[in-house]
Amino acid sequence: MTLDERRAANQRTLLLLSGLLGLIGLIAFPSLMGRVQYARTRAELAAIRDAASRAELRSVGKMFTTLARIVGPTVVNVTSKRRITTMADEIAALRGLPAAGTTAEEVGSGVIVEADGVIVTNYHVVANSQEVDVALADGRRLPARLLGADPASDLALVKIDATGLPTATWGDSDTVETGEMVWAIGNPFGLDRTITYGIVSAVGRKGVVDSPYQEFLQTDASINPGNSGGPLVDVHGRIMGITTAIVGKDYSGIGFAIPSNTARRVCAEIAEDGYVERGYLGMALKSSPPDVLGVIVTAVEPGSPAALAGIEPGDLIVSFDGEPIAEPAGLVLHLTRTPIGERVPLGVVRGGREEAVTVQVGRRPR
């Protein structure tokens, strides 16, 4: 046998012995193999703990506390008081006696958007109130006056006499995508400046309430009574929505917020005029069959912008200023975002043919 042949034979023998020893170890020493595997797992866990202690991963956890510190001081507690007339009050009035007086309180949240004390909240928090006060993060409690409100969008502006206040920054809700991280800050059940975390579950959610002027961002961040009027912020602390508690439907575990672009536009109009003007065309609409794109005109008010533009009952509106229209609420939302007096092309199908009809947006009667 040559030297090379002997070396090859020795290698085969060593491989065979190694395999036999491994098999014997698996059969005879399972606890030893288990300890080896456990040691390997323990080493992997130690490596993970080491990575978690690094600065770049610690910063992820700090992001939550940083947001709370930045946005928290801009969130306020809003309490409104309204007088309730009871049966006892009515009887007292009939007898010429003074009413006992019953007061109900509504507690919600708000967010400071101007350093001189301008605060955004929900309309339903301050509706029909005789007295509104605001509790700041620094412990001060100040009376507030109503600058104006828009019941259709459930938004209101109140103002306190203070200066140099911390303010939140508006974000662009049109850039929000489903799945983004968001934080809701408010006063649920009176627990001041509670912060909850979640994601954007859906955008452009319609049909949540009866108003055709409202669409929402949907989130799984916890929003409870008392959160109404607080901000929903993104990872940079920018306002992406004004949270609102939806009452009357079973939306357990689901939260909603008015998109920031809607809230910002409405609040700017309230600050300017004290109310919000909306566009008006003067036609009644209904949904088309599922296989047909557009909305059907069922009636046109005489002398309205739609009538002056030549819109007729039975017309199918398929687009508004180049944007496809799939449902009546969609057209209404586009209309609310269009300045009064602007001339807008409508895509109209009549007699099987589509044509462009220009309509001048009118002012909705108040």
Q: How is the chain split into domains, by residue range?
A: 70-160, 171-273, 279-363
Question: What pLDDT, on the 0 to 100 scale, is given for residue 229?
Answer: 92
- DSSP code, position 223: -
Answer yes or no: pTM beyond 0.75: no
Q: Which residues of the chain have pLDDT under 70?
A: 1-61, 85-93, 97-102, 207, 210-212, 246-253, 366
At the topology level, CATH places domain 279-363 in Pdz3 Domain (2.30.42)
Question: What pLDDT, on the 0 to 100 scale, is given for residue 333?
Answer: 80
Tokens of 95: 């007898």
Q: CATH for 171-273, among 3.30.450.20, 2.40.10.10, 1.10.10.10, 3.20.20.150?
A: 2.40.10.10
Q: Which residues contact 27 (CB under 8 A, 6 or more apart)?
A: none
The CATH code of domain 70-160 reads 2.40.10.10
Question: What pLDDT, on the 0 to 100 scale, is given for residue 334?
Answer: 82
Spatial separation of the C-alpha atoms in residues 276 and 96, rounded to whole Å: 41
Q: Among all residues, which ones are annotated catalytic? A: 124, 154, 228
Closest CA to 124 of 241, 244, 261: 244
Question: What pLDDT, on the 0 to 100 scale, is given for residue 42?
Answer: 67
Question: What pLDDT, on the 0 to 100 scale, is given for residue 39?
Answer: 56
Phi-psi region of 99 (alpha: psi -120 to 50; beta: other; left: phi over 0): beta
- Average pLDDT along the chain: 81
Spatial separation of the C-alpha atoms in residues 93 and 54, rounded to whole Å: 72
For the stretch 45-56, pLDDT in tens is 666 566 655 555
Judge whether 70-160 and 171-273 match in fold.
yes
Burial of 48 (0-12, 13-18, 19+ CB in 10 A): exposed
Question: What pLDDT, on the 0 to 100 scale, is given for residue 63?
Answer: 73
Closest CA to 276 of 326, 211, 344: 211
Closest CA to 244 of 211, 271, 277: 211
